[in-house]
Amino acid sequence: MDHIKRPTLKLKHSSDKAKSKERSLSKDKHGKDAPRSPARPKPVKMDLVMESPPVLLMDNPQQSSGALISGRLQVTPNAPQVELESVKMFLECSTTTKRPVEARCRECMNQVKDLYEWHFFTKPKVFRASEGMQELPFSHLIPGHLPGTTHGYVSSIEYSLHVRARSTSGEETEFRRQLVINRALRPGNDKNSVRVFPPTNLTLHVTLPNVVHPIGEFPVQCRMTGITTKRDDTQTRWRLRKLTWRIEEHETAISPACPKHIAKVGGEGKGVQHENTRDVGMDEMKTGWKTDFSDGTVEGEFMASMNPSAKPQRGVDSANGLKINHNLILELVIAEEWAPNKKPNQATPTGAARVLRTQFALNVTERAGMGIAWDDEQPPMYEDVPASPPHYRTSSGEGLTQIVDYEGEDLHEDVEHLNLNS
């Protein structure tokens, strides 16, 4: 738990209250000051009908053109005649942390920000029971830079439409409807990545889709070269014995402090950073690839997927410090063998084995599928990502590849009990 500064952007929002209209949940009338008259019905009954399709922001936050929402607020008077002073609706963004700075402090746990507000009329308006339900239309362009609805392990981002109707006699009626905001990145060209494992000659080429989805499979194509080293009469080569893949979801979140508990984090604009890493999919394979020692290559393709019961999140990078990203981690167990060049099929294990580890960033996003951006007549904008150059670090282990000695049981006898963490 490091005390760190929140991003500058957030700091600006927090101190500029007039502009951002940041406030606590006290706007809601669930508390003591709510009128308690159970015998008396609320002056109006409200409901909300959305006309626009589910909100889907296309492209990344820097490029997205946003999504139009439209709908009708339905107001039905509960008395022969009800005069409403105002009907306001707020597009609210609510951020919640499961690790509040002060335990059990609601203000530390939850921040609500109004992103937009509608005032349906400026002068008091009379609703008559004889006229029945009345509809108040609304629409808005949801800005494309907003983070999508996210339910992380530590932190959550949710949106809702919150309506407050106030009668001229001072009675309040509230209504709330959750608004799910999704983001989709468009499918584009596959990503080709190359990883090298010095001091060996092994080079791993991996092809992945540029976007993957929380539900469904995606192909991973692998080709490793440099597995055979030939000398005058003999050759040594690496045989792939086992391949394990894992999809890791990494979340970073910053818990802010409410004004009352700001001293606990060392002042305004600071928060406590939390991190959480979990696996949302994995499998292992002991067969399914083609080995060609004369060519020095091994290649194959497998399907990877995330476990829906793990409820994998979409990737997100929010101005409030919530960031979720995903990596595909590959671990290849290779065993060395020796053979005479004249009889390459008569191989003898040398007993040496290694574990190759590497990882690739995954863009986990909603399916673009049925969702169509409101301005989809504009040509799609792809951010062309060139194939990654080889990345490696030989000593720190923090780089993209790692090669370690395998010190488990004899690979040639029993691959069932390989321990990749040895």
Binding site for Zn ion (CB under 5 A): 102, 105, 107-108, 258, 260-261
Which of residues 108 and 324 has its CB atom nearest to Zn ion in the complex?
A: 108
Closest CA to 356 of 408, 403, 293: 403
Phi/psi region, residue 295 (left: phi>0; alpha: psi -120 to 50; beta: rest), is alpha
Q: What's the closest the beta carbon of residue 414 comes to Zn ion, in angstroms?
A: 56
Which of residues 107 and 249 has its CB atom nearest to Zn ion in the complex?
A: 107
Query: In angstroms, what CA-CA distances link 377 with 118, 181, 295, 381, 391?
Result: 29, 22, 49, 12, 39
Tell the residue number behind the tokens 């339905």, with chain if given.
Answer: 74
CA distance 98 to 109: 7
Helix/strand/coil for 142: strand
Q: What's the closest the beta carbon of residue 23 comes to Zn ion, in angstroms?
A: 14
Structural tokens at position 302:
């497998």
Query: In angstroms, what CA-CA distances link 344 with 234, 237, 333, 340, 350?
Result: 8, 10, 21, 6, 15
Which of residues 24 and 81 has its CB atom nearest to Zn ion in the complex?
A: 24
Structural tokens at position 396:
């720190």
Q: What's the closest the beta carbon of residue 262 comes to Zn ion, in angstroms?
A: 8
Q: What's the closest the beta carbon of residue 264 comes to Zn ion, in angstroms?
A: 8
Which of residues 12 and 260 has its CB atom nearest to Zn ion in the complex?
A: 260
Q: What's the closest the beta carbon of residue 99 comes to Zn ion, in angstroms?
A: 13
Which of residues 128 and 260 has its CB atom nearest to Zn ion in the complex?
A: 260
Q: What's the closest the beta carbon of residue 101 comes to Zn ion, in angstroms?
A: 6
Buried b vs exposed e over 219-251: b needs ≥16 C-beta within 10 Å? Answer: ebebbbbbbbeeeeeebbbbbbbbbbbbbbbeb
Which of residues 105 and 404 has its CB atom nearest to Zn ion in the complex?
A: 105
CA distance 358 to 328: 8
